[in-house]
Amino acid sequence: MNDDVIIIGGGPAGLSFAKLLSVTNLKIRIIEKQDESVLANPTYDGREIALTHHSHRIMTDIGAWAQIPPQSISLIKDAKVLNGDLTDPLFFDHRKSGKDNLGYMVSNHLIRKASYEIVKPLKNVTLMTGVEVADLKTTDHFGTVTLQGGKKLKAKLIVAADSRFSTTRRMMGIPTSMRDFGRVCIVCRMALDRDHDDTAYECFFFDRTMAVLPLNGRYCSVVLTISSDNADNLLKMSPEEFGRDMTERMQGKFGQMSLDTALFPYPLVGTYADRFYANRYALIGDAAVGMHPVTAHGFNFGLRGAETLSQEIQNACDLGLDLGAADILRRYDESHRKATLAMYLGTNTLVSLYTKTTPLAKLARKSLLMIGQHFPPAKRMIMNQLTEIHG
Amino acid sequence: MKQTRMSSKRPLRSTINTAEIAHFSKDSADWWNLDGAFAPLHRMTPARMRFLKDTIGPIPGKTILDIGCGGGLISTPLSRLGGHITGIDADKQAISVATQYAKNEELDIQFIHGAAEDLAQKGETFDVVLALEIIEHVDHPDMFVDLCARLVKPDGIVIFSTLNQTWKSYALGIIAAERLLKWVPVGTHDWKKFIKPSELSKLAEQSGLALHDLKGMVFRPLKNEFDIDPHDLDLNYFLVAKPISPRKTPPSKKQHPK
């Protein structure tokens, strides 16, 4: 046996998992198809990640937080959810959460870089880059990864963090629910004329959802989800046209809004694996749960899953148990499913509801916002779910 | 040399019950199936291992004898933790399953098909002697405890675990586990052979062992797992015993070379 655990995918979820697991002294190998230079110096990709308190704690524990320049960490203090006409906001106040802020904002490329930096010095983690997995087979006692080129690697457990379109998940025969929202997600950074008061805005317009998330200074991250045909028009706009369009939509709330980066489009497909494990195989990150970005939970769930699985493996190792045994993976599956399923389904329902333009849907969403605003337990529940304050 | 332990006064006679061995042997191929005939034992493994780790202390380097090791459910994790393990069982099938399993897991464990009496005959002794879920299956528990006492080193420990003879163990261990939940095959246990902690500790004392620790193992239905409980011994319990050390005469000054 070459290794104890092989991780397929060197994204932030895979790397964080490797770091979390490295305390066991197990021999860990990461297989990543991109070159190491890409991991070491990831470029800005338009994505700004909202991080919950729970994620903040994990990232602090594994040393990733310290790798992020403090000036690149923005706070979300409050959040407002707005209906199509920007009326009836549902307001989440950080003062009611018992914390100084609801969450944090950090650029995706900085998280990727930090994840790489904390894994690189680890003695028991081998980082193999620029290689792709051709095949994966598992037996009662180990899994075998065949690389393109024919090299075979064996380990007690194979952990896949190879994106929401995971190819190894298919190889292992795990069915996965996929929801193509028929929409495109466009992200960019914009400069503002006025202060955003560290408030995140989730706006459900009739034809698009839009999140305006506060970044340090008078900047914000904009996350637009829009039907694919409209996206083309939007992507063709000049920066000035786009800025004008956004300013109008936000009714001048931030004064003039102007584009600070390119527009980055991403296809929008939500995925949820039927099982997060198979024989000697476990799914983490987006390979397990690929969220719609509107509730900004993708990476938070990725970190949570990595933490849960590494904890289960550590417990097994402490007792001398087989770290890839089905009962251990089953416990991870149960726990992570419990942590994510309601949010996944809820988000999908919300997104459908808030992008429908029928009168009934409009009425439903208006009432939902009212219930949310005027029924404190509901609001508290949503807030806890969104911010993961209680762990 | 003067024999201090009563155990050696008694003759060594096999305590193996052939009917019991036949009962287990028919499911032997299933030993490592988490959902098979031995599923309850698999579920107990984490709690049992936690108790053993706490009781034995540092495991690396210790010689451990696992009497009635079956498919190696406890021998295997103990070996991963660095113990020098000898597993012995009268069920040939189980030993062959255990041997193959250890080989596949690249673990160095000595699995023996045979009777622990033979090891005692050869005068072998161990730091730790385990008799887990076994005494309720043997003939002559008194002789079996004797045997364990003979196999342990003077500064070692013997760890028993077994089912208590209570109404609860009848209701849960036999009615629920065998008949209702079908966790284990019917006929796995005979309640009349269950043994109370008081009786086991008396047997231990008669064999020159002193009671060191007594803890219960309980099932927590909400968590769906077994757990160690210091007070509730009603269902399943661990009894830890140590050889009574022969009284040492304090070093006398007269014997000192001066």
Residue of A nearest to B81 (CA): A320
A96-118 in b/e form (b: 16+ CB < 10 A) is: ebeeebbbbbbbbbbbbbbbbbb
Domains along the sequence of chain A with CATH: 3-60+112-178+270-358 (3.50.50.60)
Instruction: Give me the architecture of the B2-243 domain, per CATH.
Output: 3-Layer(aba) Sandwich (3.40)
Residue B254: pLDDT above 70?
Answer: no
DSSP lists the bridge partners of residue A219 as A191, A215
Residue A44: pLDDT above 70?
Answer: yes
User: Checking DSSP bridges between strand A176-192 and strand A257-259, what pairing results, if any?
Assistant: antiparallel
Chain B residues with CB under 8 Å of A318 CB are 53
Q: What is the pLDDT of residue B39?
A: 85
Is B79 in Cβ contact with A327 (below 8 Å)?
no
Min Cα–Cα distance to chain B from A110, Å = 39
* Each residue's pLDDT tens digit, A100-114: 888 999 999 999 999
Q: Give the integer Cα–Cα distance in Å for A302 and A16.
A: 9
Kind plus residue range of the DSSP H or E element containing B203: helix B197-206
Residue B7: pLDDT above 70?
Answer: no
Q: Where are the beta strands (DSSP E) in A63-166?
A: 74-76, 78-82, 90-92, 103-107, 125-129, 133-138, 143-147, 152-160
User: Checking DSSP bridges between strand A289-290 and strand A264-273, what pairing results, if any?
Assistant: antiparallel
SS3 content of chain B, % helix, strand, coil (to 5): 40, 25, 40
Higher pLDDT, A225 or B7: A225
Higher pLDDT, B142 or B19: B142
* Each residue's pLDDT tens digit, A333-350: 999 999 888 878 877 777
Is B34 in Cβ contact with A327 (below 8 Å)?
yes
Question: Counting beta carbons within 10 angstroms of the beta carbon of residue A29, is it exposed (0 to 12), middle (13 to 18) or buried (19 or more)?
Answer: buried
Q: What is the pLDDT of residue B208?
A: 94
Of the pLDDT bands very low, low, confident and very high (cuts 50, 70, 90), residue B136 is confident
CA distances in angstroms from B119 to A207, B68, B124, B134, B240, listed in the order given: 80, 13, 6, 17, 21
Residue among A140, A321, A326 whose CB faces B49 most closely:
A321
Chain A residues with CB under 8 Å of B81 CB are 319-320
Question: By percentage, how much of chain A surpasses pLDDT 70?
Answer: 87
* Each residue's pLDDT tens digit, B160-206: 999 887 777 766 777 777 767 777 777 777 777 788 999 999 999 99
Min Cα–Cα distance to chain A from B225, Å = 11
Pick from A253-257, A287-291, A295-299, A324-328: least confident? A295-299
Residue among B49, B77, B105 whose CB faces A141 most closely:
B105
Largest CA-CA distance found in chain B, in angstroms, rounded: 75
Domain positions in chain B? 2-243
Average pLDDT, chain A: 89
Residue of A nearest to B83 (CA): A320
**Sole residue written with tokens 């297989």:** A31
Residue B258: pLDDT above 60?
Answer: no
Q: Give the integer Cα–Cα distance in Å for B221 and B224.
A: 5
Q: Of how many residues is chain B composed?
A: 258
**Sole residue written with tokens 């006064």:** B9
Is B50 in Cβ contact with A319 (below 8 Å)?
yes
* Each residue's pLDDT tens digit, B94-105: 999 999 999 999
Chain B residues with CB under 8 Å of A141 CB are 104-105
Q: What is the pLDDT of residue B1?
A: 42
Chain A residues with CB under 8 Å of B45 CB are 319, 321
**Which residues touch A348 (CB under 8 Å, ≥6 apart)?**
A179, A270, A292
Pick from A130-134, A199-203, B72-76, B141-145: least confident? A199-203
**Which residues touch B100 (CB under 8 Å, ≥6 apart)?**
none
Contact B193, B133 (CB under 8 A): no
Q: What is the pLDDT of residue A209?
A: 81
Decide: helix, strand or coil at residue B104.
Answer: helix
Q: What is the pLDDT of residue A198?
A: 93
ipTM of the complex: 0.82
Residue A304: pLDDT above 50?
Answer: yes
Q: Give the integer Cα–Cα distance in Å for A224 and A231.
A: 9
- What's A39-93 look like in SS3? HHCCCCCCCEEEECHHHHHHHHHCCCHHHCCHHHCEEECEEEEECCCCCCCEEEC
Rounded to an integer, the average pLDDT of A11-32 is: 96
Q: What is the pLDDT of residue B222?
A: 82
**Sole residue written with tokens 């006929």:** B187
Residue of A nearest to B51 (CA): A319
Chain A residues with CB under 8 Å of B55 CB are none
Min Cα–Cα distance to chain B from A299, Å = 28
Q: Give the integer Cα–Cα distance in Å for B93 and B159.
A: 25
Rounded to an integer, the average pLDDT of B55-70 is: 96
Q: What is the pLDDT of residue B150?
A: 96
Numbers of helices and strands, H then E, in chain B: 8, 8
Residue among B45, B80, B104 whose CB faces A141 most closely:
B104
Give me A24's structure tokens.
């066991």
Contact A154, A138 (CB under 8 A): no
Q: Which of A326, A301, A306, A304 is nearest to A316 (CA)?
A: A326
Q: Is A182 left (phi over 0), alpha (psi -120 to 50) or beta?
A: left
Residue of B nearest to A326 (CA): B34
Q: What is the pLDDT of residue B3?
A: 43
**Sole residue written with tokens 């320049």:** A69
Please compute, for residue B180, the number of CA atoms within 13 A of its CA located in the half-sphere on the CB side: 8
Q: Does A322 touch chain B (CB under 8 A)?
A: yes
Q: Give the integer Cα–Cα distance in Å for B245 and B247.
A: 6
**Which residues touch A7 (CB under 8 Å, ≥6 apart)?**
A14, A17, A18, A28, A29, A30, A31, A159, A160, A161
Is A320 in Cβ contact with B78 (below 8 Å)?
yes
